[in-house]
Structure 1
Amino acid sequence: MSAVSNDLRKRGKKRYASGHHNKRWKGSRELEVGMQGILITCNMNERKCTAEAFNLLNEYADLLYGPEKLQDDNGSSSEGEEADEEDVDVALKKEVAQLKASGAKQERRFQALDSGANNVIFIKTQNLESDKLVHHILSDLHTTKKKKSRVILRMLPVSGTCKAFQDDMVKYLTTFLEPWFKTPNCGTYQIAFKARNSSHNKRDEIIKSIAGLVGKLNPKNKVDLTNPELTIIVEVIKAVCCISVVKDYTLYRKYNVQEVVKEDTPKPDVNSAQTDTNKDEEKEENDAEETNKQEKKKGEDDNDNNVPQDKKEADEDEGNGE
């Protein structure tokens, strides 16, 4: 009896696993290596974010590239009239060939795929440059200050994808970064790295390796974390690394469509503000040193050297950790 029940349980598990696998396979439209598109982050409402993304992208794509033309709309009426005069078999074969051709080219210019991370959707693009489209959208929003979305947060173009392993990333970026950074091209840059559902890549090591690669392409390339000309975006999701090089990353609030429409508040001069900040930091360091000296002297006067000495060592360890 137990053998029969075990057999039934095994068969049940097989059926469940098989059905579950088929369901995922049929509906699996996921981000993969070799794709181009746009990563869009949102706040807890991916369904509404997808609808907003399609509306926003199509609005500006129509302006830049014209309305989308579907494959099965080309010349249907004129071909129908000619078919009346042709032999029935020939017309039928022609129609079947057209249906096969249209079915093979059914991809739209925007397709929503599973990114592999929560609150992130991936819009696969077809026959357009995602970096130019996203930059155009943010430029218009920054100029008009007109809010056109409620749940979309950031729109990050993906001009290339590769496997999310350090060796694969460096190999891919060696060629990918040439149009911007290889001699005679050069510029100031920063690297914006983020990993989701991936723990095998260390942020500092990736950034260091990419910076070394950019330096090899042209020694005149310089890092600028305040106002760089170019930003290298590296977004890792599971086993896929999404890459793009964008302009005006700081100006357009890290490509955040909610922030870019806000009115710019007057800011103090960068140099003077930085000088004031440095002075404040120096003052804090001097005050801290003075406090440590006073604590140490007080401890010596009280014949209790261990307490302030331990406090000083703890402060030094904390500073080294930062």
Structure 2
Amino acid sequence: MSDTVMSGSKRKAAWQPPAHKKRNVASTAKGYAGILVTCDRIKERQVVKDVLNILNEAAEKYYPKYDEDNEEEEEGDSKTSAEKLAEEIKGLKKDKGRFVALDTGVKGIIMIQIVDRKIPVIALVDRIFEEVVDTKQFSSRFIQRLIPLENLCFPSVEDITTAVTPFIERHFKDTKDLTFCVEVKKRNSGNIPSMDIINACVAVVGEQHKVDLTTPQVVILIEIFKNVCGVSVVTNFHQFRKFNVRVIVDPPKDEKKPKKDEKKPKKDEKKDSKPAKDEK
């Protein structure tokens, strides 16, 4: 009797990788690019399905695989049909998809590893957000942010500096007077002082560029969660509202202009009330 009552009152457990895929944790993706997904807690299972569908559709649309497949077919013309079939079956067994959902160990946070290294993570996320900005629609109610990370590494100042340096140089090496800032976000990981990371990144950027904390042209993203760190350098952080889908689809009420019109009646009411005071 007690068992049935307890089972009926239990909440759904947070999403975790299947038992046979326990190695699918974020720490195994170091050296790869990925997308950090923030979402409503207890909705991780649905979010995994949603985000994989969204990413696969975008990848098929903008970065299809058919060119690679055609090249392989041309190279393998000399092989017999039996050899080709055997290779195809072997490839299907090995193919885990172009994206893999990984457990971060933090509630409401999922890491999507980009297995296909030919997919540029920044460009892919840009494409997705451009469509969201244009249509004001998004095919998931529970996803909040999609943060592109160009490399995953161990969360130490030395490893972070090594991982982010190539991406900083890509933007700053042959340029002058760019404005930038360093955004450090830590989740369930408080061992590294944020200022140590910021100072290390600023040193790589160099003195010929200026820090701007309000409207920088370039943003260096450092996302730390447990024993993993993701880094990237982006130019559209504020344009895409810190990669926040919800803010784009449904902007806060503060941003809706009717506020000025709403204040006017209050002023009129005050003016109307003045004669009443004078009469007294």
Alignment TM-score, normalising by the size of structure 1: 0.63
Q: CA deviation at 1:209?
A: 2.3
1:100 to 84, 90, 97: 90
- 1:126-177 residue CA offsets vs partner (Å, 9 max, x unmatched): 1201111111211221122124320000000010122211122223333331
What value does the CA root-mean-square deviation take over the aligned residues? 2.9
Q: CA deviation at 1:210?
A: 1.5
AA in 2 matched with 1:100 = K
Aligned counterparts of 2:98 and 2:21: Cα–Cα separation in 1: 21
Aligned counterparts of 2:21 and 2:52: Cα–Cα separation in 1: 23
Aligned counterparts of 2:102 and 2:66: Cα–Cα separation in 1: 19
Matching residue of 2:44: 46
Matching residue of 2:246: 258
Given the alignment of the two structures, is residue 233 of structure 1 paired with residue 221 of structure 2, yes or no? yes
Matching residue of 2:136: 145
AA in 2 matched with 1:30 = V
| Structure 2 unaligned blocks of 5 or more | 1-17, 260-280
Q: CA deviation at 1:123?
A: 1.0
Aligned counterparts of 1:33 and 1:185: Cα–Cα separation in 2: 32
Q: CA deviation at 1:102?
A: 4.3
Any conservation in 2 of the 1:155–1:255 contact (CA below 8 Å)? Answer: yes
Any conservation in 2 of the 1:198–1:238 contact (CA below 8 Å)? Answer: yes
Q: 1:67 to 1:98 in 2, by over 3 A?
A: closer
**SS at 1:259 equivalent:** helix
Aligned counterparts of 1:259 and 1:191: Cα–Cα separation in 2: 22
Any conservation in 2 of the 1:180–1:186 contact (CA below 8 Å)? Answer: no
1:1-322 aligned at under 5 Å gives the runs 26-31=21-26, 32-44=29-41, 45-66=43-64, 83=81, 91=82, 95-104=85-94, 106-125=95-114, 126=116, 127-184=118-175, 187-215=178-206, 219-262=207-250, 265-266=256-257
Q: CA deviation at 1:119?
A: 0.9
Structure with the greater alpha carbon radius of gyration? 1
AA in 2 matched with 1:226 = T
Any conservation in 2 of the 1:62–1:68 contact (CA below 8 Å)? Answer: no
Q: CA deviation at 1:94?
A: 5.7
Aligned counterparts of 2:158 and 2:98: Cα–Cα separation in 1: 32
Matching residue of 2:269: none
AA in 2 matched with 1:39 = L
Aligned counterparts of 1:140 and 1:101: Cα–Cα separation in 2: 33
- 1:66-112 residue CA offsets vs partner (Å, 9 max, x unmatched): 377997xx87xxx9xx75xxxxxxx4x664444334434x1311111
**SS at 2:245 equivalent:** coil
Q: CA deviation at 1:267?
A: 11
Aligned counterparts of 1:67 and 1:109: Cα–Cα separation in 2: 10
Q: 1:185 to 1:117 in 2, by over 3 A?
A: farther
The structure where helix makes up a greater share of residues is 1
**SS at 1:227 equivalent:** coil
Aligned counterparts of 1:198 and 1:24: Cα–Cα separation in 2: 26
Higher relative contact order (CA 8 A, sep 6+): 2
Any conservation in 1 of the 2:168–2:204 contact (CA below 8 Å)? Answer: no
Aligned counterparts of 2:213 and 2:112: Cα–Cα separation in 1: 29
AA in 2 matched with 1:262 = D
Equivalenced residue count is 227
Q: CA deviation at 1:207?
A: 1.5
Any conservation in 2 of the 1:189–1:229 contact (CA below 8 Å)? Answer: yes
- 1:208-253 residue CA offsets vs partner (Å, 9 max, x unmatched): 22222212xxx32211111111111100122221001122211221
Which segment is superposed worse, 223-232 or 142-151?
A: 142-151
Q: CA deviation at 1:26?
A: 4.8
Q: 1:160 to 1:59 in 2, by over 3 A?
A: same
Alignment TM-score, normalising by the size of structure 2: 0.71
Aligned counterparts of 1:119 and 1:227: Cα–Cα separation in 2: 28
| Structure 1 unaligned blocks of 5 or more | 1-22, 84-90, 269-322
